[in-house]
């Protein structure tokens, strides 16, 4: 992303060679989206191409029909050339590989999360071929689809309006079950069609929500306020009681309901019980996603620690699928990501700490009795790296473990796992308040103290330094494992980065009581230049912060050695890195990395603060 020096807004420089905000293109298109008419052309989504190619151009769409508060639209040109089905056998729209591609790779690669929210699910009737009687197959529900023969005839004025200069697929069957209908180069609808293995152009269609922010049912303010913050899908009182009882005392093999997915209660299987907590995994895939998507950094080797799927699970998934009360029951878990080289020809990687994660190869072999127990009819990912670079291990639909795995940007099922606190009202540490209060009054360097809460768990801090009647402390572990130093990859210093803003607003307000916040002292920080390389990288102006990150010098001087700094994950420092769009970091083995990573990279967060000992 590029930040415009004039309007200070960001834009994608691989799509635009100028600022679209300054030129008015963005605003003009958004205004058109609010008042679409049949025949209008507008931009929506960006054409990535196959296999993670860089962005090429914005996709243009034409409005074919307006109905209620939605619009049926089709691309003005082809988005790709491909077969209707990858095999030459009998097939219908329901089973063809082109339908699968449009509703997986195309949907997730070509549209942002906000754009996908505007694309409506559509129930499609797949009629038989009217001339040859070839069966059209079962009805389907799709977000992205091809027009049928009837729609192609009725929604365009004539052949000229349909023509794009080359043939394009329709979803209707052709003259036999190995043929599919198409539109010819001149715009004529060919009911007989062509062999499904032929390579033709693709013009996706979809129903677009014209009022994405408005609820179809107008509720009064009182009714809206009375609704729960995250309404739970309906289930009988008896089912609720049964589920609550299971949550208090589950057994291995039990099915429990926890959280929601697409308006439905999420079902989980208990696969292990240990010390007042339960390891659970979803019964089915919650979505289909790549291990590492197009918005991820591919300059580093792809692994669980830096993949976009890990980031999504511990951010969007956890925030969007669980109530605050449910989130407080999900325990942070230190994951062992090593594999036995004598058993599996797969590489190991460093431990990570996650609240939601994928199982690894050791766990699926030990926690499921056999292939049948692992099977859920779909392929799903593990976090273990595969035998080849950029591949990860997968479970097939019949439950077999595929050690070679699948390529990182392929779309496979996601079955999240997590450790559930069965004693959510009890503190894991079991240290009395009296002991902790005594430590807080007179801590010693090296002591660990409790102060504040994070996701319902008390936060542990290590005392690094005492000065007068105040103590410099840092969290013993990451409070977040996957956050960028700054939301965009631009030249930035500590003063202006989004992480500083988050620490001194959302973090401090959400993790500490009013009394605790009163004990956190404002600290004037000197943000030194990075002098480790041939030219000084500026650290920026001094800042005054209540919560901050350590600098390179502080990380070096306040810990005895790498081992004392290490917590199994990489974590950010506030100092600049090798370039002005880099920030320094501590590696998972505790070594201070002066060069660091791009500021948009996702690393762990270990906040530091000065604590008033006399409050």
Q: What is the pLDDT of residues 350-361, one digit of tens each?
A: 788 889 999 999
pLDDT at position 410, please? 82
Query: What is the distance between the alpha carbons of residues 275 and 66, in angstroms, rounded to a whole number?
Result: 58
Nearest CA to 385 out of 367, 366, 407, 369 is that of 407
CB-based contacts of 417, cutoff 8 Å, min separation 6: 271, 279, 280, 281, 282, 356, 357, 358, 359
DSSP-derived secondary structure for 250-279: --TT-EEEEEEETTEEEEEEEEEEETTEEE
Mean pLDDT for the stretch of residues 286-308: 73
Read off the DSSP letter of residue 249.
S
- Asked if the model's pLDDT at residue 515 lies above 50, the reply is yes
Share of the chain above pLDDT 90, in %: 46
- Asked if the model's pLDDT at residue 5 lies above 90, the reply is no
Query: What is the distance between the alpha carbons of residues 92 and 471, in angstroms, rounded to a whole number?
Result: 69
pLDDT at position 396, please? 87
pLDDT at position 33, please? 84
Mean pLDDT for the stretch of residues 561-573: 90
pLDDT at position 534, please? 64
- Asked if the model's pLDDT at residue 461 lies above 80, the reply is yes
pLDDT at position 21, please? 80
- Asked if the model's pLDDT at residue 229 lies above 70, the reply is no
* Contact in structure between 218 and 227 (CB atoms under 8 Å): no
* Contact in structure between 221 and 121 (CB atoms under 8 Å): no
pLDDT, greater one: 584 or 16: 584
pLDDT at position 49, please? 46
What burial letters (b/e) apply to 517-536, b meaning 16+ CB within 10 Å?
Answer: eebbeebebebbebebeeee
pLDDT at position 243, please? 73
pLDDT at position 3, please? 60
- The residues spanned by each domain of the chain are 1-35, 36-209, 237-421, 433-612
The angle formed by the CA atoms of residues 125, 128 and 129, to the nearest 5 degrees, is 125
pLDDT mean across residues, the chain: 84
Residue whose token pair is 């003063």:
495
Q: What is the pLDDT of residues 361-372, one digit of tens each?
A: 989 999 999 999
pLDDT, greater one: 344 or 224: 344
CB atoms near residue 539 (< 10 Å)? 22
CB atoms near residue 579 (< 10 Å)? 16
Mean pLDDT for the stretch of residues 80-94: 88
pLDDT at position 103, please? 87
pLDDT, greater one: 136 or 216: 136
pLDDT at position 485, please? 94
- Asked if the model's pLDDT at residue 245 lies above 90, the reply is no
pLDDT at position 220, please? 37
Query: What is the distance between the alpha carbons of residues 442 and 482, in angstroms, rounded to a whole number?
Result: 33
Q: What is the pLDDT of residues 523-564, one digit of tens each?
A: 999 999 998 876 688 999 999 999 999 999 999 999 999 999
Of the candidate ranges 23-37, 49-63, 434-448, 499-513, the one whose mean pLDDT is the lowest: 49-63
Mean pLDDT for the stretch of residues 556-573: 91
Mean pLDDT for the stretch of residues 197-223: 69
pLDDT, greater one: 55 or 386: 386
Q: What is the pLDDT of residues 175-200, one digit of tens each?
A: 999 999 999 999 999 999 999 989 99
- Asked if the model's pLDDT at residue 224 lies above 70, the reply is no
Half-sphere exposure of 84 (CA within 13 A, CB side): 29
Q: pLDDT tier at 424 (50, 70, 90 boundaries)?
A: low
- Asked if the model's pLDDT at residue 135 lies above 90, the reply is yes
Residue whose token pair is 């948009």:
600
pLDDT at position 96, please? 93
Report the SS3 class of residue 355. Answer: coil
Of the candidate ranges 231-235, 359-363, 499-503, the one whose mean pLDDT is the lowest: 231-235
Query: What is the distance between the alpha carbons of residues 63 and 44, in angstroms, rounded to a whole number?
Result: 12
- Asked if the model's pLDDT at residue 298 lies above 60, the reply is no
DSSP-derived secondary structure for 294-344: TTS--SS---GGG-HHHHHIIIIIHHHHS-HHHHTTEEPEEE-----TTT-
Of the candidate ranges 150-159, 346-355, 408-417, 488-497, the one whose mean pLDDT is the lowest: 346-355
Mean pLDDT for the stretch of residues 568-586: 92
């Amino acid at each position: 992303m590029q930040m415009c020096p004039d309007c200070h807004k960001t834009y994608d420089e691989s799509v635009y060679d100028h600022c679209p905000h300054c030129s008015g293109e963005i605003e003009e298109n958004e205004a058109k989206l609010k008042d679409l008419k049949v025949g209008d052309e507008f931009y929506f989504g960006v054409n990535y191409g196959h296999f993670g190619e860089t962005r090429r151009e914005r996709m243009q769409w034409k409005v074919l029909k307006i109905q209620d508060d939605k619009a049926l639209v089709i691309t003005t040109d082809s988005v790709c050339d491909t077969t209707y089905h990858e095999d030459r056998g009998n097939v219908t729209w329901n089973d063809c590989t082109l339908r699968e591609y449009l509703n997986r790779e195309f949907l997730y690669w070509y549209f942002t999360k906000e754009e996908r929210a505007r694309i409506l699910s559509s129930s499609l009737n797949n009629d038989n071929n009217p001339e040859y009687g070839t069966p059209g197959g079962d009805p389907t529900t799709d977000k992205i689809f091809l027009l049928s023969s009837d729609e192609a005839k009725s929604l365009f004025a004539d052949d000229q309006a349909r023509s794009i200069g080359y043939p394009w697929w329709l979803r209707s069957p052709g003259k036999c079950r190995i043929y599919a209908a198409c539109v010819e180069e001149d715009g004529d609808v060919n009911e007989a069609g062509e062999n499904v293995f032929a390579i033709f152009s693709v013009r996706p269609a979809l129903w677009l929500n014209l009022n994405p922010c408005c609820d179809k049912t107008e509720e009064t303010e009182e009714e809206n306020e009375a609704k729960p913050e995250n309404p739970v899908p309906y289930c009988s009182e008896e089912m609720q009681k049964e589920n609550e009882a299971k949550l208090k005392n589950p057994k291995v093999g039990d099915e429990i309901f926890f959280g929601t997915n697409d308006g439905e209660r999420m079902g989980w299987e208990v696969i292990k019980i240990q010390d007042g907590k339960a390891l659970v995994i979803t019964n089915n895939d919650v979505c289909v996603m790549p291990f590492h998507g197009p918005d991820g950094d591919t300059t580093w080797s792809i692994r669980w620690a830096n993949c976009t799927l890990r980031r999504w699970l511990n951010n969007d998934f956890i925030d969007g699928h669980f109530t605050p009360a449910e989130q407080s029951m999900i325990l942070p878990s230190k994951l062992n990501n090593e594999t036995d080289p004598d058993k599996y020809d797969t590489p190991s990687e460093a431990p990570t700490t996650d609240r939601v994660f994928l199982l690894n190869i050791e766990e699926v072999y030990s926690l499921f009795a056999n292939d049948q127990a692992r099977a859920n009819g779909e392929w799903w990912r593990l976090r273990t790296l595969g035998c080849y670079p950029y591949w990860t291990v997968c479970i097939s639909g019949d439950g077999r473990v595929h050690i070679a795995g699948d390529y990182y940007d392929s779309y496979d099922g996601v079955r999240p796992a997590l450790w559930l606190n069965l004693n959510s009202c009890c503190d894991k540490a079991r240290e009395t308040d009296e002991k902790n209060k005594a430590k807080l009054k007179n801590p010693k360097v090296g002591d660990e103290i409790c102060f504040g809460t994070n996701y319902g768990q008390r936060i542990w801090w290590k005392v690094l330094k005492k000065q007068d009647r105040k103590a410099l402390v840092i969290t013993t572990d990451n409070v977040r494992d996957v956050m960028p130093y700054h939301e965009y990859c631009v030249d930035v210093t500590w003063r202006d980065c989004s992480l500083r803003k988050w620490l001194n607003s959302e973090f401090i307000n959400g993790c500490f009581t009013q009394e605790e916040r009163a004990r956190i002292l404002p600290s004037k920080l000197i943000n030194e230049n990075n002098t480790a390389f041939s030219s000084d990288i500026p650290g920026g102006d001094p800042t005054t912060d209540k919560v901050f990150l350590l600098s390179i010098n502080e990380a070096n001087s306040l810990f005895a050695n790498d081992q004392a700094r290490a917590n199994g994950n990489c974590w950010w420092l506030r100092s600049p890195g090798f370039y002005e769009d880099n920030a320094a970091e501590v590696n998972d083995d505790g070594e201070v990395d002066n060069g660091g990573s791009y500021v948009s990279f996702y690393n762990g967060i270990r906040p530091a603060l000065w604590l008033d000992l006399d409050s």
